[in-house]
């Protein structure tokens, strides 16, 4: 069965999570995979392809493995979306977590067969990844990402507090740990009562977090259901939320980007670069210290760190043991500002595979070029009525999904828009505001 309005040759495997195209492999090509729940891995794979082509002596083709349809040929791994299509519904966006995608990919006979075919032809399959987790177990792939067990450990916000924060003495708001929802409510009643902030062990992009003004904000929050532990903190009056991207290897830690996060409450919406905070050096030094700590635990590859500025003081928020939302834009700005250095994708490859950055990062500063990115949200139940343009003036439209795509649940984005500019940050943000309004008008 082939879904309407999708690439020719696509098949739905009723007993398999994959919606997959016919995959005829060219013996004259070398293949890579880009693997994740968002399109950032696609950008990295294509940035890396020239280096892999030089090493293998063959043209490189990237096979995208995503959870949703994409403008380029894609293997979709998403059983919930597959069920919608089998029921006669259109293709589109049905958000699932990276852990769930990795579990489904491991169980997919189609993916097992594809990786085995590639492994037999070329020995291994380089795979750019958004997030490597223990749920992924496909023999033959080489994840260009940190070790999955270290990712799982350091992605746990409780573990971060018990290890990195405690050992390095990182500044954090007053924080208490609860072992159940009932314990969390008891702690809130005894210690807070008013404003507070709750974080589950595994959270990202605002999921698994809750701003608390009253007790019922905890008891009635669907975002807090089912967690086994919680962190309950003072709610700070946050002025800015800077974020860093670092890459770890034996020859050092390179801080590739230091940006301001654009947030709607606790929900991540994009980034502005360079950061406007005055504590840049303190944040860079803190990021390097965290990178050195992770390095000593065997961690190699990319990591992100989020911070808060409140009352003119820097507070640690969390480590993201993976690439971050701004990675493609940081990579593009780095390439323009540091053409003499390896690119960010190349650094991730050499750090994870060869344990080297390929240069000495001491004294190398991140690009000061002005750019901003923004996620354009798509409300559940809407449909994209026309094809998204590649550009709107000076604004680039990325992560484009095909016209006719339906958005089934929350946490889905229509696209990501990016603007690079030599002017002010305010002008860049104004341009993004205008273009977001145009693009959301394409939804019905």
Tell me the CATH number at 370.
3.30.470.20
In this structure, what DSSP letter does residue 213 have? Answer: S
The answer on 283 and 222 residing in a single domain is: no
State the average pLDDT over residues 70-87. 87
Contact yes or no for 88/419 (Cβ under 8 A): no
In terms of DSSP H, where are the helices of 161-239?
166-168, 181-187, 216-219
The answer to the question of residue 155 being in a domain is: no
> Tokens 């946050």 map to which residue?
238
The answer on 247 and 227 residing in a single domain is: no
Please name which of 204, 193, 271 lies closest in space to residue 235, comparing C-alpha atoms: 193
The answer to the question of residue 329 being in a domain is: yes
Residue 266: band (very low, low, confident or very high) from pLDDT cuts 50, 70, 90: confident
Question: What pLDDT shows up at residue 197?
Answer: 95
Distance, C-alpha 99 to centroid of its chain? 12
Instruction: Give the end of a domain, one of 201, 217, 234.
Output: 234
- Residue 165: cis peptide before it, omega within 30 degrees of 0: no
The answer on 120 and 190 residing in a single domain is: no
Length of the chain: 444
Contact yes or no for 345/332 (Cβ under 8 A): no
The answer to the question of residue 229 being in a domain is: yes
* Domain of 129, in residue numbers: 11-144
Q: What is the largest CA-CA distance in the chain?
A: 68
Q: Which two tokens stand for residue 79?
A: 């059983």
Q: Which two tokens stand for residue 381?
A: 């139940």
Residue 39: band (very low, low, confident or very high) from pLDDT cuts 50, 70, 90: confident
Bridge partner residues of 413 (DSSP): 377
pTM attached to this predicted model: 0.93
In this structure, what DSSP letter does residue 383 have? Answer: B
State the average pLDDT over residues 361-376. 94
The answer to the question of residue 159 being in a domain is: no
The answer on 261 and 226 residing in a single domain is: no
The answer on 134 and 188 residing in a single domain is: no
User: Out of 75-79, 188-192, 223-227, which region has the weakest mean confidence (pLDDT)?
Assistant: 223-227
Contact yes or no for 243/305 (Cβ under 8 A): yes
Q: How many whole angstroms separate alpha carbon 133 and alpha carbon 147?
A: 8
The answer on 428 and 305 residing in a single domain is: yes
Q: How many domains does the chain have?
A: 3
> Tokens 């989020």 map to which residue?
306
8 pLDDT exceeds 50?
A: no
Contact yes or no for 140/119 (Cβ under 8 A): yes
Q: How many whole angstroms separate alpha carbon 139 and alpha carbon 371?
A: 39
- Indicate which CATH number applies to the domain containing 222: 3.30.1490.20
182 pLDDT exceeds 60?
A: yes
Q: Strand, helix or coil at 236?
A: coil
Residues 6+ apart with CB under 8 A from 198: 184, 209, 210, 212, 218, 221, 224, 230, 231, 232, 233
The answer on 254 and 226 residing in a single domain is: no
The answer to the question of residue 422 being in a domain is: yes
The answer on 280 and 429 residing in a single domain is: yes
The answer to the question of residue 158 being in a domain is: no
Instruction: Give the end of a domain, one of 218, 234, 250.
Output: 234
Please name which of 146, 127, 154 lies closest in space to residue 138, comparing C-alpha atoms: 127
Instruction: Give the end of a domain, one of 92, 127, 144.
Output: 144
Residue 111: band (very low, low, confident or very high) from pLDDT cuts 50, 70, 90: very high
The answer to the question of residue 152 being in a domain is: no
The answer to the question of residue 411 being in a domain is: yes
The answer on 62 and 112 residing in a single domain is: yes
Q: How many whole angstroms separate alpha carbon 406 and alpha carbon 413?
A: 11
Q: How many whole angstroms separate alpha carbon 408 and alpha carbon 378?
A: 10
The answer on 253 and 222 residing in a single domain is: no
pLDDT digits (tens, 9 = 90+) for 385-429: 999 999 999 999 998 888 999 999 988 999 999 998 766 777 888
pLDDT digits (tens, 9 = 90+) for 276-312: 999 999 999 999 999 999 999 999 999 999 999 999 9
The answer on 118 and 21 residing in a single domain is: yes
Question: What pLDDT shows up at residue 418?
Answer: 95
């Amino acid at each position: 069965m082939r879904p309407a309005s999708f690439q020719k040759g696509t098949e739905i495997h009723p007993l398999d999570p994959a919606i997959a195209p016919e995959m005829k492999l060219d013996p004259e090509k070398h293949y890579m995979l880009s693997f994740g729940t968002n399109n950032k891995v696609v950008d990295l794979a294509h940035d890396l392809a020239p280096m892999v082509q030089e090493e293998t002596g063959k043209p490189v083709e990237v096979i995208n493995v995503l959870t949703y349809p994409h403008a380029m040929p894609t293997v979709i791994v998403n059983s919930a979306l597959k069920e919608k299509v089998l029921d006669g519904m259109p293709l589109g966006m049905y958000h699932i977590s990276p852990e769930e995608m990795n579990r489904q990919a491991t169980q997919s006979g189609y993916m097992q067969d594809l990786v085995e075919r590639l492994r037999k032809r070329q020995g291994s399959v380089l795979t750019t990844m958004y997030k490597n987790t223990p749920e992924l177990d496909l023999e033959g792939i080489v994840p260009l990402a940190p070790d999955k067990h270290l990712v799982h450990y350091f992605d746990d916000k409780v573990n971060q507090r018990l290890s990195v924060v405690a050992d390095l003495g990182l500044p954090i708001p007053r924080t208490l740990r609860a072992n159940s929802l009932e314990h969390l409510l008891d702690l809130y009643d005894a210690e807070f009562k008013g404003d507070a902030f709750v974080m589950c062990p595994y959270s990202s992009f605002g999921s698994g977090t809750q701003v608390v003004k009253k007790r019922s904000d905890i008891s009635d929050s669907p975002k807090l259901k089912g967690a086994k532990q919680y962190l309950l903190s003072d709610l700070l009056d946050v002025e800015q939320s800077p974020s860093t991207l670092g890459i770890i290897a034996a020859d050092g830690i390179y801080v590739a980007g230091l940006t301001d996060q654009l947030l709607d409450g606790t929900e991540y919406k994009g980034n502005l670069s360079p950061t406007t905070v005055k504590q840049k050096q303190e944040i860079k030094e803190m990021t390097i210290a965290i990178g050195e700590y992770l390095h000593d635990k065997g961690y190699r590859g990319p990591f992100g760190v989020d911070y808060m500025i409140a009352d003119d003081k820097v507070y640690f928020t969390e480590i993201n043991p993976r690439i971050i939302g701004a990675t493609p834009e940081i990579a593009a700005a780095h390439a323009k500002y540091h053409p003499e250095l390896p690119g960010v994708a190349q650094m991730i490859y050499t750090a994870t595979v060869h344990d080297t950055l390929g240069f000495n990062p001491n004294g190398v500063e991140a690009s000061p070029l002005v750019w901003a990115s923004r996620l354009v949200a798509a409300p559940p139940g809407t449909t994209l009525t026309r094809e998204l343009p590649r550009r709107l003036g000076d604004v680039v439209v990325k992560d484009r999904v095909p016209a006719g795509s339906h958005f089934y649940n929350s946490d889905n984005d229509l696209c990501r828009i990016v603007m690079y500019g030599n002017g002010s940050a305010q002008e860049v943000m104004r341009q993004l505001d205008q273009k977001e309004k145009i693009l959301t008008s394409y939804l019905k």
